[in-house]
Amino acid sequence: MMNAFEMGDIDVAWCPGCGNFPILKTLKETLAELEIDPKQLVMVSGIGQAAKIPHYLKCHFFNGLHGRALPPATAIKAVNPRLTVIAESGDGDMYGEGGNHFIHCIRRNPDITNIVHDNMVYGLTKGQASPTSRRGFKTPVQVAGVILEPFNPLAVAIALDASFVARASAGDREQTKEILKRAIRHKGYALVDIFQPCVTFNKLNTYQWFKDHVYYLDDSHDPSDRTAAFARATETDRLPLGVFYVNPKDSFEENTQMYRRDERPLHQREVDAKKLASLIDTFTMAG
Amino acid sequence: MKDPRGTATRRDMSIVLCGQAGQGVQTVETLLTRILKTAGYHVHATKEYMSRVRGGANSTTIRVSGKRVSALVDRMDVLVPLNAGAVAHVAERLTPQTVVVGEREVVADEAIESNRTLAVPFTEIATEIGGKIYSNVVAVGAIAGLLGLDPDAVVAYVRRYFAKKSEDIVANNVKAVRAGYDAIGKLDMPAGLRLSFKPSAKVKDELLLSGAEAVGLGAIAGGCNFVSSYPMSPSTGVLTFLAQHGLEQGVLAEQAEDEIAAINMAIGASYAGARALVTTSGGGFALMTEGVSLAGMLECPVVIHLAQRPGPATGLPTRTEQADLELALYAGHGEFPRILFAPGTLEQAFDLTQKAFNLADKYQVPAFVLTDEYLMDSYYNVKGFDLSRTKTERHIVKTAKDYRRYELTKNGISPRGIPGYGSGLVAVDSDEHDEEGHITEDLDVRVAMVDKRLAKGEALRKDIVRPELIGPKDYKKLVICWGSTYHVVKEALAELGRTDTAMLHYSQVYPLHPSTADLIGKARKTVVVEGNATGQFRKLIRLHAGVDADEGLIKYDGLGFTVEDVVEGLTAIDKG
């Protein structure tokens, strides 16, 4: 049976061999195996090469502004909690331009999955440093090499007591699929940072480099242990993959209390003319 | 023009309260306006205040009348200074006729010498009752006594106002208001202060509210069920109002991390079928401009309440101005249609905010409600809002399997589907896109999409709100204004009593109503009154109606126009 998210023969803007291809394929398989209805799935993205992903699978999508995927994703879920919402983009989009939203989205904890293609370089603008570029990485702009400390999204998320924090590697489709399944099923904000080789602009962090520099967390890691999760997230010699931290809590939609007495999404609701009239009536100041 | 009528023939009384931030000027204003309104008097109150939480000098001007009053005046019949610097703060408005009511220590020498000073020891009386905290209520009692209000009704209102507090607090407030009332009664009062005009039973049933509340109520009436914003004076009142009534009225109110998040959330909510609002000011709106462009490109309806304050940059945070018209008109890169309302009255604030939601939905465009600090912070009584006109127009369709979000149509309006309603997929993209919403660099599609978006700008011209002409139809002179100056200009013209002059008020400033050129062409002389330094609306008329007004009457000191400002300004222009 054909995958329900398959688009068929379409023009894709990624370079041959790009790490985005395995991520797209894995995502489609994950969604199909989770039996998600494409008509109930909204993909939200920003701008960049990774941000084009919603165009390449069958779903509703909101391809918004650079760095701004998380606010609309939060709002879409908040006004219709029946939808499955995935916000997916690159590291420049989510951690650079959208850094403030990344922080506050974690605090808000909407029930969305945040997938970040982390290739440690800017692709669409042709090879400048990204927030996750390693120190010393040379680019046409960072001519003497990057002098800023790399942004550590996992450590930041765990510091903010995020609901779910994981890292995967694009090259390992089976493990990535399992991590994505857990993230999408998880209630609350779920971050999945995915190492993704950029074959055109990042000659340092290649498929082989990632292979040599990662290892999977095993059963000895307790994902409910925030301190342990933080320690793992700050390791630099070899970079752990897997689910770092799981912290179940009420979602933003639940906390708004908008659905406590009425389960309907907002678009199905009408103005309550009686309630409005009685609110207006209080302005007679009769007491 | 100070006190042109004298006290004997007073049609209305103007009472100015002045004190430091944090001293409770607001409590006195709230209590007094409510007491007056429930007694059947027409009231209007507006304030000017500093951008600080404590100290400085803030003032509120309250007008009370037997006839409707809805505009700010310079005239100061009664001044109630609450601290030592207060008299100096409003010194320019002080006249020999101004009666000053306050503690001897805070009343300036010249006011005392004017022999129209009533010294009431608010703090001393309050301390005897139970603490300095009651001095504001003592002041309320004193003013009520000065105006000759029914003391039992005043006490009854104070009792109701504090009803939720402990019995002790209620009892002390009642004592305080009575003590203030009695203290003023013992003094030798100048003539003409007791209200001579008759209260009206009808006013008792009217509404007393602020511009912020009128916009908030209009939003609810317009079906608003999502608001995301970042607090910024003077727009915050609308967010606060919707947050406080959100759960009961079905509005999800969220304070965003910044204005960029706020508008992107609102657009996301709108994409998923909500009726979304942002409320912002000055620099906050500047941050939203990329989002405005996104709403234009995605064709997502969104309502933007922009409460203007003086800029550039942080400017005067708590003051008023009408200088963001051009910003709202041009905000956002690229070309796309929009609607700009600028309500002049509380009724218009309600009606047009509601209408903004309907039209944003109908034409899938950003719709602005342009107000300012003066309108936000003005309170007065209005007959009520016409809820029978409250019809929430919805334009969402159930999608079919082959649904295309940007289907090309004659009028440019593509039926708007939302995710999860119907069997189609709803794809929107900030890149140029094809009918399905997918990225395209097909330049023919690009042209078709630009034409489609701009066609909506033509279509929405059917719904332009007509400017309101007040005065003789065969006018020779025309005074044009827009937004919050409605009542000030109207009262100024009534005061001037010219039979050859009419007023033309625009509550929709873009697109301009097509009658504009004819209406201006009929006049021998036209003046545009507006609160900015460069005559922005006058320029807009020149650009879009092809006619130029003869004169501009502008103000940009951060304060709202007063009736006297307009009377003097128009008189000076006439003398040429």
Is A3 among the domain residues? no
Rounded to whole angstroms, the Cα distance separating A111 from A189 reads 5
Whether residues B250 and B190 fall in one domain: no
C-beta of residue A169 within 8 angstroms of C-beta of residue A214 = yes
Q: In terms of residues, how long is chain A?
A: 287
A94-134 pLDDT, tens digit per residue, is: 999 999 999 999 999 999 999 999 999 999 899 999 999 99
Comparing A14-23, A98-107, B95-104, B280-289, which segment has the lowest mean pLDDT? B95-104
Under the banding of pLDDT at 50, 70 and 90, the label for residue B386 is: confident
Is B81 among the domain residues? yes
A170-224 pLDDT, tens digit per residue, is: 999 999 999 999 999 999 999 999 999 999 999 999 999 999 999 999 999 999 9
Is A6 among the domain residues? no
Q: Is the pLDDT of residue A1 over 70?
A: no
- Tell me whether strands B42-48 and B379-382 are parallel, antiparallel or unpaired: antiparallel
Whether residues B259 and B300 fall in one domain: yes
- Say if the Cβ atoms of A79 and B273 lie within 8 Å: yes
Chain CA centroid to CA B545, Å:
27
Residues of A whose CB is below 8 A from B357: none
- The CATH number covering residue A97 comes to 3.40.50.970
Is B148 among the domain residues? yes
- Say if the Cβ atoms of A71 and B390 lie within 8 Å: no
Chosen domain end from B203, B220, B245: B203
Distance from CA of A144 to the nearest CA of B (A): 33
Distance from CA of A202 to the nearest CA of B (A): 26
Beta strands in A69-228 (DSSP E): 84-90, 113-118, 164-169, 190-195, 214-216
Which of B155, B245, B264, B426 is most worth mutating to test chain A (most A CB atoms within 10 A of its CB)? B264
Is B431 among the domain residues? no
- Say if the Cβ atoms of A286 and B213 lie within 8 Å: no
pLDDT at B7: 45
- The CATH number covering residue B173 comes to 3.40.920.10
B499 interfacial to chain A (CB closer than 8 Å):
no
Whether residues B268 and B214 fall in one domain: yes
Rounded to whole angstroms, the Cα distance separating B317 from B485 reads 20
Is B456 among the domain residues? no
Q: Is the pLDDT of residue B401 over 50?
A: yes
pLDDT at B363: 98
Q: Is the pLDDT of residue B217 over 70?
A: yes
Is A14 among the domain residues? no
The model scores a pTM over 0.90:
yes
Which of B154, B241, B249, B265 is most worth mutating to test chain A (most A CB atoms within 10 A of its CB)? B265
> What letter does residue B133 receive in the DSSP assignment?
G
What pairs with residue B501 in β-bridges? B477
* Structural domain boundaries enclosing A56: 20-261
- The CATH number covering residue B475 comes to 3.40.50.920
Residues of B whose CB is below 8 A from A38: 425
Chosen domain end from B156, B188, B203: B203
Rounded to whole angstroms, the Cα distance separating B532 from B555 reads 6
Whether residues B245 and B191 fall in one domain: no
Residues of B whose CB is below 8 A from A55: 427, 429, 438-439
- Say if the Cβ atoms of A71 and B264 lie within 8 Å: yes
* Structural domain boundaries enclosing B234: 208-389
Instruction: Quote the percentage of chain A above a pLDDT of 90.
Output: 97
Distance from CA of B16 to the nearest CA of A (A): 22
Cα–Cα distances (Å) from A215 to A182, A218, B405, in that order, read 19, 9, 44
Whether residues B122 and B148 fall in one domain: yes
Whether residues B141 and B18 fall in one domain: yes
Q: Which amino acid is at B341?
A: F
- Say if the Cβ atoms of B267 and A59 lie within 8 Å: no
Q: Is the pLDDT of residue B224 over 70?
A: yes
Residues B162-167: contacts with CB within 8 Å, 24+ apart? B163/A287
Whether residues B121 and B55 fall in one domain: yes
Is B182 among the domain residues? yes
C-beta of residue B195 within 8 angstroms of C-beta of residue B147 = yes
- Say if the Cβ atoms of B271 and A76 lie within 8 Å: yes
pLDDT at B5: 41
In chain A, residues 4-63 whose CB comes closer than 8 Å to chain B:
13, 38-40, 42, 44, 47, 52, 54-55, 58-63
Is B402 among the domain residues? no
B247 interfacial to chain A (CB closer than 8 Å):
yes
Whether residues B376 and B523 fall in one domain: no
Higher pLDDT, B389 or B576: B576
> Considering its fold, how many domains does chain A have in total?
1
Whether residues B186 and B287 fall in one domain: no
Q: Is the pLDDT of residue B1 over 50?
A: no
Chosen domain end from B327, B357, B389: B389
Whether residues B307 and B381 fall in one domain: yes
Is A279 among the domain residues? no
- The CATH number covering residue B345 comes to 3.40.50.970
Is A115 among the domain residues? yes
Is A287 among the domain residues? no
> Considering its fold, how many domains does chain B have in total?
3
Residues of A whose CB is below 8 A from B245: 279
CB-nearest to B205 from A55, A275, A284 is: A284
- How high does pLDDT run on average in chain B? 94
Whether residues B179 and B249 fall in one domain: no
Is B236 among the domain residues? yes
Is A2 among the domain residues? no
Higher pLDDT, B218 or B1: B218
Distance from CA of B173 to the nearest CA of A (A): 16
Mean pLDDT of B212-216: 98
Rounded to whole angstroms, the Cα distance separating A262 from B204 reads 37
Tell whether ipTM is more than 0.85: yes
SS (H, E, C) B413-476: CCCECCCCCECCCCEEECCCECCCCCECCCHHHHHHHHHHHHHHHHHHHHHCCCCEEECCCCCC
C-beta of residue B408 within 8 angstroms of C-beta of residue B415 = no
- Say if the Cβ atoms of A279 and B396 lie within 8 Å: no
Q: Look-up: residue for tokens 């003023």?
A: B184
Whether residues B220 and B183 fall in one domain: no
Question: How many CB atoms lie under 10 A from the CB of residue B522?
Answer: 14
